[in-house]
């Protein structure tokens, strides 16, 4: 068996106790954007790098207010979420040149939501061949760029 070095995962494994309350609200309310990987703050929503990404560049667009469901969002929040989704998708295109994107909203645990209490929209850049045998056989996903470097790249371009 071969080992893959993935030092960024140890923080998740060792994180004890888990953050109390909603991690998205806690991140938004702090003034430590770099620590929490917030790349953009708007009037109604913010954009944050996913700390445990499905792929390099995985972002989440999140309303500033704690709202569990898309039905709870105001028209202004919906509009800004969609505009920011468009703008971040274009920025990811310029930065990383992906060949496609997954945009996702999971409402409820049975739908795959890891966080059910605070609505958010995922933007996941995709490349041909980015799914291979590794996740299936070895339960391993390779992320080629550190979150810190990616955060700095976003801040340079915004």
Q: How many CB atoms lie within 10 A of CB 44?
A: 17
* ∠ Cα 63 80 156 (to 5°): 90
Residue 7 domain flag? no
Residue 6 domain flag? no
Tally of structural domains, the chain: 1
Question: What are 77-105's pLDDT values in tens digits?
Answer: 999 999 999 999 999 999 999 999 999 99
Regions of the chain short of the pLDDT cut 50: 1, 4, 133-134, 136-138
Cα distance between residue 87 and residue 106, in whole Å: 21
H helices within 19-145, ranges in order?
Answer: 23-29, 33-36, 75-96, 133
- CATH code of the domain containing 63: 3.30.428.10
Residue 14 domain flag? no
pTM: 0.78
- What is residue 58's predicted lDDT score, i.e. its pLDDT? 94
Give the closest residue to 95 by CA, choosing from 150, 49, 144: 150
Residue 12 domain flag? no
Look up the domain containing 36 and give its range. Answer: 21-157
- Residues classed as catalytic: 120
């Amino acid at each position: 068996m071969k080992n893959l070095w993935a030092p960024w995962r140890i923080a998740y494994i060792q994180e004890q106790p888990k953050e109390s309350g909603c991690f998205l609200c806690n991140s938004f309310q702090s003034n430590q954007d770099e620590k929490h990987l917030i790349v953009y703050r708007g009037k109604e929503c913010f954009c944050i790098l996913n700390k445990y990404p499905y792929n390099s560049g995985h972002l989440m667009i999140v309303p500033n207010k704690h709202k569990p469901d898309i039905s709870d969002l105001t028209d202004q929040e919906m509009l800004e979420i969609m505009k920011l989704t468009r703008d971040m998708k274009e920025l990811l295109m310029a930065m990383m040149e992906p060949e496609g994107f997954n945009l996702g909203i999971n409402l409820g645990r049975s739908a795959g939501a890891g966080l059910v209490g605070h609505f958010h929209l995922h933007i996941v850049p995709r490349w041909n061949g980015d799914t291979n045998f590794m996740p299936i056989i070895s339960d391993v996903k390779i992320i080629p760029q550190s979150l810190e470097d990616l955060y700095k790249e976003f801040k340079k371009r915004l």
